Structure 1
Amino acid sequence: MNTDDTLLLSQPALFTISQMPDLNFKHISNLTDKTGIIQHALFAMPNRKEGYCIDDNARALLFAVWACKNNKRDQITHDLLLVYLSFIHYMQSEDGYFRNFLSYTMTATEDRGSEDSFGRTMMALGYLINEGPSHLLTRTAHGIFTKAYPHVNKLTSLRGIANTIVGISQIIKYQYPDDRKRNMVINLADKMVAMYKHSKSSDWHWFEPILTYDNAMLPLALLNAFEVTQQDEFLTIAFESMAFLESKVFYDTFRPIGNLGWHKQGGPIATFDQQGIDAMAMVLFYQQAFRLTGEQLYLARMYKCYQWFLGDNDMGLSLYDFSTGGCADGLHTEGINLNQGAESTLAYWISHLVVASTLSA
C-alpha cells in the first residue's frame, strides 16, 4: 500500500444509499427451496446436483436476520429465515455437533462437519438470538446454540474459533451480563492471541504463516472479544493484524488475497481468484471498528471494500448482477466466474445490508 493509497483510505468517502442497487432478493429466493439454500448455481440456475451445506445456510440465516431487521414488514425474508433455521436444526446431531453437507436426495455425507462450519453456524445463531424478529425464533435458536455450546472450548481451528467468538459475543449482548460466557470468550480469544504471538515476526503480523480466505474475520473476532471483555490486548492485536492485512490487499483498488496460491510468508501474493467472502469479512470488520471508535476512516474503507462487488476491482467488472440479484462466484484472470452460487450472492447481500444500515444510522 503506497502513500497515496494510505491518504485515500484515511479520508471519509462520499457514498450514499442512492449509489447502491435496489434490494433484489430474487436469486436468493430461487436458490432456496423448502429444505434450505442450494449451495451452487449453474450460471443463475440452482445446481441441485451439488445439494446443500450448513456453511451457506448459516450465512443465509445471517442475511435473513439482517434483512428482517432492515424491513420488519418483509414477509418473504421472514419465511426464508424459517427455512434456514429449520435446516440448521435438522443438521444438528444428538451430540450437539452439526453435519455440513446434505445431498439433494436428503442424504448427509458425514457425521460431523468442519470446525469452520460449526463456527459460522454459532455466529449466525448468535445474531438471530440478539437481533431476531420474534421471541419464538430467538428461543428456537437459543436451544440449538445451547446444545452445541459444550463443544466450543474444544475448538482448534482459527476460523472456527473466530466465528464462534462473534456468536457468543452476540449472546452476551442479549443477556448481559453473562460472566460464564464472557470467560469463554476470553479463553477462545486467548487461543487466538497465542497463535498470533507464535506466528508473528518483524515483518509478519498474522495468526498463521499464510493469508488465505475470510481473513478479516480473525481481527473482527478480537474486536468483538474486546467489546464484551474490555481486555486491551484483544483490541491492540485486532488493529495490528488488520493493519498488516490492509498492507497486502489495498492498492489502487481493494484486492482480496487470491485463492490460486494464497500468500505464504516470504512468498508472492496471489492476485486471483478473488472471492466475495473476503470483501464481506472486510465490510464486517470495518462496521465493528466504526462502532467501537467512531472514526470516519473506517467508513471509507468499508465503502471501498463493498464497491469491489460493483466494479471497483482489478478488472473493472461488476460481480453483482443487477438483473438477477445474484453475485458472480469470483474474479478470475479472464474475468468473472459467471456462476452465481449461494456463498458469493450471500456475501454481496450481507455486505449490502451492513453498508446500508450504517449509512442510515
Structure 2
Amino acid sequence: MTAPVEAPARRTTPTPPFHHLIRLTDDTGLFEHAQYAIARREHGYCTDDVARGLLVVSREPDPAPALLRLAETYLTFLVHAQAADGSFHNRLSFERRWTDRPELGDWWGRALWGLGTAAARHPAGWIRDSALRAFTAGAARRSPAPHAMAFAGLGAAEILRADPGNELAATLLADAASAIGWPDPDPAWSWPYPHLSYASAALAEVVIAAGHRRGDVALRAAGLRMLTWLRDAHLADGHLRPLPVAGWTRRTVRQRYDQQPIEIAALADACATAAEVTGDEQWLVTVGQCVQWFLGDNDAGVTMWDRATGGGFDGLTAQGVNVNQGAESTLALIATLQHKRTPRSR
C-alpha cells in the first residue's frame, strides 16, 4: 500500500507521539499490524513488539496516566509470555491463545531489553520491581542467535545503570558481547559476519556498552569501529539510506529498497550510546539525521509518519511509502524522537 506523502517545508522536531500506540493497544497487548491506521486484530500480538512498547514508555520521565496504563498492559503481557525456565512465547492470537512454544529467539532478547529498561527507568516502583523479577528469571538463559543476545545484553546494560553491582546483568552483558565477536580487520568490512541483516546497529551498541562497563578499552574501540563503519555505510547523498530489508552481503551490490524504520531507530540508539560513553557529540549529528529521515530527509524526500494519527509508516519502497502503520514502525518513530528530545538521556 503506497501513496505519495510530501515532506513538510519546515522539518521541526515533534514530540514523541503516543496516540497511535494507544490506538494499537487493547487490554491484552499491542497489535502487531495495521491496515493504514486500523489495527489488524486477526494478526494478533507478538512479544517482540510488546517488549519494544514497554521500552519506549519506560523511557518517558514523566508519563501521563495513559502511558502508565500502557506500561502495565505490556508488563503483564510479558510476564504471562514467560515460561518457568525463563524463555518466552512470541505469538498470541486475538483469541488469547499462544500459537508457539516458549523459546530463546529474538523475542526473548527483546523481552529482556524491555524488562531491563522498565526495571531501571520506570517511575512506578511496582513496575520496576515486577520487571526486575521477570528480567532475573530470563537473564540466566543464553540464545545461540547473536541478535537475540544483543537485545538481551542491552537490557542488561539498562539494569547496570541502576544497579552497577548486579552480577547477573554484568555476566549477561559480557556474554552478549562475546556472542557477537570482533569486527573483521578489513576496513572495507568492519563487521563480525559476512552478512548484515536487520537492526545491525544493536550489535555494535552492545559491544560498546560491554567495553564501557568493563573498562575494556579494546572492546569498546571494537564496538565503536563497528558503529563508525555501519554509520558511514548508511550515509548517501547527505542523508541516511538505511540497509534494505533483505540486508547486505559482503562483496555484493547493495540494494536500495525496501527501507524500514527499525534500521533508523537502531542506529539512533547506538549513536546515542556512543555519544554518552565517549563524550563525542559528533555521534549526536547522526541521531539528528535519524530524526530527519522520518521528517523527510531520505531518498524519496517524503515524511515517514502521519502527523494526524501519530503512526510511523511501515517502509520506503521503490514505489513510494508504505502507508500502513504497524507497531514496529510506530515504535521506531517514537524511540528515535525520544533521543532528539533528550539526546544524552540513555
Shift of 1:186: 2.2
Distance 1:62 1:293 in 2: 24
The change in CA–CA distance for 1:61 and 1:173 in structure 2 (over 3 A counts) is same
Residues 208-236 of structure 1 deviation map (CA, whole Å, 9 limit, x = unaligned): 11111101101111121122211112211
Shift of 1:113: 4.2
Mapped pair 1:61 → 2:49 = no
Distance 1:202 1:135 in 2: 46
Equivalent position SS for 2:286? helix
Shift of 1:188: 2.7
Mapped pair 1:85 → 2:75 = yes
CA contact (8 A) 1:287 1:299 kept: yes
Aligned residue in 2 for 1:307: 292
- 1:258-297 aligned at under 5 Å gives the runs 258-259=244-245, 261-297=246-282
Work out which of the residue numbers 143, 155, 158 in structure 2 matches 1:170. Answer: 158
Shift of 1:135: 1.4
Aligned residue in 1 for 2:340: 355
CA contact (8 A) 1:21 1:322 kept: no
Q: Match for 2:222: what amino acid?
A: I
Equivalent position SS for 1:166? helix
Aligned residue in 1 for 2:302: 317
Distance 1:137 1:255 in 2: 38
Aligned residue in 2 for 1:255: 241
Equivalent position SS for 1:354? helix
TM-score normalized by the length of structure 1? 0.88
Aligned residue in 2 for 1:32: 25
- 1:73-152 aligned at under 5 Å gives the runs 74-151=64-141
CA contact (8 A) 1:328 1:336 kept: yes
Distance 1:133 1:83 in 2: 16
Q: Match for 2:79: what amino acid?
A: H
Shift of 1:111: 0.7
Distance 2:84 2:314 in 1: 34
Aligned residue in 2 for 1:4: none
Q: Match for 2:30: what amino acid?
A: I
Distance 2:36 2:263 in 1: 21
Aligned residue in 2 for 1:7: none
Mapped pair 1:20 → 2:13 = yes
Distance 1:291 1:321 in 2: 31
Shift of 1:176: 2.2
Residues 171-201 of structure 1 deviation map (CA, whole Å, 9 limit, x = unaligned): 22222223454234223312222xx35x554
Q: Match for 1:162: what amino acid?
A: A
The change in CA–CA distance for 1:22 and 1:123 in structure 2 (over 3 A counts) is closer
Residues 116-144 of structure 1 deviation map (CA, whole Å, 9 limit, x = unaligned): 11111111111111111121111111111
The count of corresponding residues between Structure 1 and Structure 2 is: 335
Distance 1:360 1:115 in 2: 29
What value does the CA root-mean-square deviation take over the aligned residues?
1.8
Gaps of 5+ in 1: 1-17
Q: Match for 1:214: what amino acid?
A: A
Distance 1:244 1:133 in 2: 36
Equivalent position SS for 2:316? strand
Shift of 1:243: 2.1
Shift of 1:202: 5.5
Distance 1:89 1:236 in 2: 36
Distance 2:319 2:326 in 1: 19
Aligned residue in 2 for 1:191: 179
Equivalent position SS for 2:67? helix
Stretch deviating more after TM superposition (20-29 or 47-56):
20-29
Distance 2:134 2:21 in 1: 24
TM-score normalized by the length of structure 2? 0.92
Percent of matched pairs sharing the same residue: 29
Work out which of the residue numbers 138, 144, 148 in structure 2 matches 1:156. Answer: 144
The change in CA–CA distance for 1:158 and 1:232 in structure 2 (over 3 A counts) is same
Residues 220-256 of structure 1 deviation map (CA, whole Å, 9 limit, x = unaligned): 1112112221111221111111122123210121000
Distance 1:149 1:300 in 2: 34
Shift of 1:334: 0.7
Q: Match for 1:254: what amino acid?
A: L
The change in CA–CA distance for 1:135 and 1:347 in structure 2 (over 3 A counts) is same
CA contact (8 A) 1:103 1:109 kept: yes
CA contact (8 A) 1:43 1:338 kept: yes
Aligned residue in 1 for 2:7: none
CA contact (8 A) 1:276 1:347 kept: yes
Distance 2:232 2:283 in 1: 15
Shift of 1:23: 4.5
Distance 2:203 2:149 in 1: 9
Gaps of 5+ in 2: 1-10
Stretch deviating more after TM superposition (35-44 or 350-359):
350-359
Residues 127-172 of structure 1 deviation map (CA, whole Å, 9 limit, x = unaligned): 1111111211111111111111221xx3221111111111112222
Q: Match for 2:132: what amino acid?
A: H
